[in-house]
A = this chain, B = another copy of it.
Amino acid sequence: MNISETITFSDTGPEDRSSTIREALRNAIIDRRLAPGTKLSEAEVGALFDVSRTVARAALQMLTFEGLVKTERNRGAFVSHPSPDEARQVFASRRLIEPGIVAGALERITPSDIAHFRRQLEEEARHMNERGPAARRAEIKASGDFHLLLASVCGNAILQKFMDELVARSSLVIALYGRSGISSCGHAEHSAILDALENGDGKRASTLMIHHIDHIEADLDLQLKQGSGLKDALSLS
């Protein structure tokens, strides 16, 4: 496993090591370097990051709270394998929250923010034009970052935290249920939303956002093919 990327703790400063591990695992999960269903043993995680089980456990507990990891008592922690129903709930939540985020962002967005968005969208476009699984992972991540940036502009830390969780879960869902062929449809819509925001047209931006979310969800294949948990093992190994 090469989960730990090129992480040397010194980079992030002496701050919470468990948070650093959480972020690394989080990135690995939403990048799909860690497949849903993968077991994350405390000892293994601890060994990978060269810490004790205590801090590894703390990181896993945080991820469990975010819904990216599922822990079963006396059995361990596993990368979440959201059911189609959970997937629908994720998108229902986003449909509810994101229009409000757009409205909030509209009132506080600055030219400097817009420039930031433009750079972000360029990045996104670059990944879109590349091929290969690495590029696709980067694309999913970049697409999520657009929504997170929007949430940060809106200035509500609570909503931002909610969006953090929703975007992360979405990445999992897309990786699991996405029909890979048509997945790169989001970029133009991001641009359009940003344009509407720049023109101060909040109504249009909200509408575009809802359609955008609809499109993402429509691109999924959410037929319920799984009963309980035996499929986990089936799909992962």
Q: What mask results when residues 161 to 173 of chain A are scored 1 for a CB within 8 Å of chain B, else 0? A: 0100110010000
Which of A28-36, A57-65, A228-236 lies on the face that meets chain B? Answer: A57-65
Determine whether A5 belongs to the interface, using a CB cutoff of 8 Å to chain B.
no
Q: Inside 8 A of A65's CB, which chain B residues have their CB?
A: 62, 65
A: which residues have CB within 8 A of B? 15-16, 54, 58, 61-62, 65, 67, 73, 86, 89-90, 92-93, 96-97, 100, 104, 156-159, 162, 165-166, 169
Q: Inside 8 A of A96's CB, which chain B residues have their CB?
A: 96-97, 100, 159
Q: Inside 8 A of A89's CB, which chain B residues have their CB?
A: 156-159
Q: Given A62-B65, A92-B104, A162-B162, do A157 and B86 touch, yes or no (CB 8 Å)? A: yes
Closest 10 CB pairs of A and B: A96-B100, A89-B156, A65-B65, A93-B158, A89-B158, A93-B159, A162-B162, A92-B156, A89-B157, A96-B97
User: Is there contact, CB below 8 Å, between A73 and B16?
Assistant: yes
The distance from the CB of A66 to the nearest CB of chain B, in whole angstroms, is 8
Instruction: Provide 17 A-B residue pairs closer than 8 Å at the C-beta atoms, listed in order of the A residue.
Output: A54-B54, A61-B61, A61-B62, A67-B158, A86-B157, A86-B158, A89-B156, A89-B157, A89-B158, A92-B156, A93-B156, A93-B158, A93-B159, A93-B162, A96-B96, A158-B166, A162-B162
The distance from the CB of A29 to the nearest CB of chain B, in whole angstroms, is 17
Q: Inside 8 A of A15's CB, which chain B residues have their CB?
A: 73
Q: Inside 8 A of A158's CB, which chain B residues have their CB?
A: 67, 86, 89-90, 93, 165-166, 169
Q: Inside 8 A of A90's CB, which chain B residues have their CB?
A: 158
Q: Inside 8 A of A61's CB, which chain B residues have their CB?
A: 58, 61-62
The distance from the CB of A170 to the nearest CB of chain B, in whole angstroms, is 11
* Alpha-carbon distance between A162 and B89 when the two chains are bound, in angstroms: 12
Which of A16, A62, A158, A166 neighbours the largest number of chain B CB atoms within 10 Å of its CB?
A158
* Alpha-carbon distance between A162 and B92 when the two chains are bound, in angstroms: 13
**Besides A89-B159, A92-B104, 12 new A-B residue pairs in contact (Cβ under 8 A), listed by A number:** A15-B73, A58-B61, A61-B61, A62-B65, A65-B65, A67-B158, A86-B157, A89-B158, A90-B158, A93-B158, A93-B162, A162-B162
